[in-house]
Chains A and B, each alone.
Chain A
């Protein structure tokens, strides 16, 4: 199995710009999760998909954030009109729902810096 991959690994942008991140889950993993992690904190849940359906969204996910998983494989997370407070590590995780042990495996993350 190749692991969860995320692209880009680092993104620096100016306030007000839009950014988009991509996550490729482990092959055959039908659930995909997005988390955000700020410095000195544990990851916080943003949203998750089962196949192409977005099943849950955290209240952390403001209307400037949108996530998609159009074909039930890779997912994208877009942030519009970025703010300095959006600076964080954005982590993706995947799992195979239905197994008795649906452990989430994380990608390396995308580090976003908003200037």
Chain B
């Protein structure tokens, strides 16, 4: 059974940093690209970043480019999101998502970790 478990969320002040983790199991982690998608309270879904299976290729939404860094450790079956210079508008539930066989869509999602940016 595929499982994705996010952690690392919490309350953080504007301008500070936070590192999210996603522990994956139930599939061959290094066969798939992985993504982060967020959802602000009561709002829709926003893709923010992805990383290829071997970390060679990464991409970011403009809203987080230069502030967030995605990475992975295939030996640990883990995905990460380093978030710097956090803003109030980064407040959201952050999901990690496994890419499907079809590139660019997501066949499994974690339950999310909530990040709240507030003073």
Please determine whether chains A and B interact with each other in the same assembly.
no
- Residues on B lying within 8 angstroms of A by beta carbon are none
- Residues on A lying within 8 angstroms of B by beta carbon are none
